Amino acid sequence: MWFFLRNTGGHMMKVKVRFFARFRELLGTDVIVEVGERTTLPDLIKQVTQKNVEGYNAIFDEHGHFREYVILMRNAKRIDIADAAMNIVADGDDVAVFPPVAGG
């Protein structure tokens, strides 16, 4: 499933966001999003989830912070959610967002 989200103005970059497990059910599998320069990781995920209340709420808390168990990967590298806001996305980035599953 592919979605294309478009922003306007400035130099646009294409970034791929992949969701897993429950996040995937709510938000789809892969999203290609165009974002402006200086877009941070939280901005990116908020942009992708803004029109999906349930999806947004699964990933962000009431203060707009990543829920503490959310796992973020950027180009196969783990990004601590505490450092996410310091990460500026670049053209061609592959961002993965997933919740650990718990059952056995």
Partner 1 sequence: MFSERERERYKRQMMLFGDEGQERLKKAHIFIAGAGGLGSPVSIYLAVAGIGTLTVVDRDVVDQSNLNRQILHYDRDIGRKKTESAEEKLCAINPDIRIRVIDTTIEEKNAGDLVGKADGIVDAMDNYPTRYLLNDVSLRKKIPLFHGAICGFYGQATTIIPGQTACLACIFPKAPPKEVFPVVGVTPGLIGMVQATEVLKYLLKRGELLTNRLFIWDGIQAHADEICIERNPRCTACGSFCETPGDI
Interacting residue ranges for partner 1, rule: CB under 8 A: 18, 20-22, 24, 29, 68-69, 71, 73, 76-78, 80, 96, 98-104
3-state secondary structure of 1: coil
Whichever of 11 and 76 has its CB closer to partner 1, that residue is: 76
Q: Are 6 and 14 in contact (CB under 8 A)?
A: no
Whichever of 7 and 75 has its CB closer to partner 1, that residue is: 75
Q: Are 15 and 88 in contact (CB under 8 A)?
A: no
Whichever of 28 and 36 has its CB closer to partner 1, that residue is: 28
In the complex, the smallest distance separating the C-beta of residue 41 from partner 1, rounded to whole angstroms, is: 16
Q: Are 46 and 58 in contact (CB under 8 A)?
A: no
Side-chain-side CA neighbours of 21 within 13 Å: the count stands at 12
In the complex, the smallest distance separating the C-beta of residue 38 from partner 1, rounded to whole angstroms, is: 26
Report residue 97: phi and psi, to 5°: -130, 120
In the complex, the smallest distance separating the C-beta of residue 88 from partner 1, rounded to whole angstroms, is: 21
Distance CA 26, CA 95 (A): 17
Whichever of 62 and 68 has its CB closer to partner 1, that residue is: 68
In the complex, the smallest distance separating the C-beta of residue 26 from partner 1, rounded to whole angstroms, is: 13
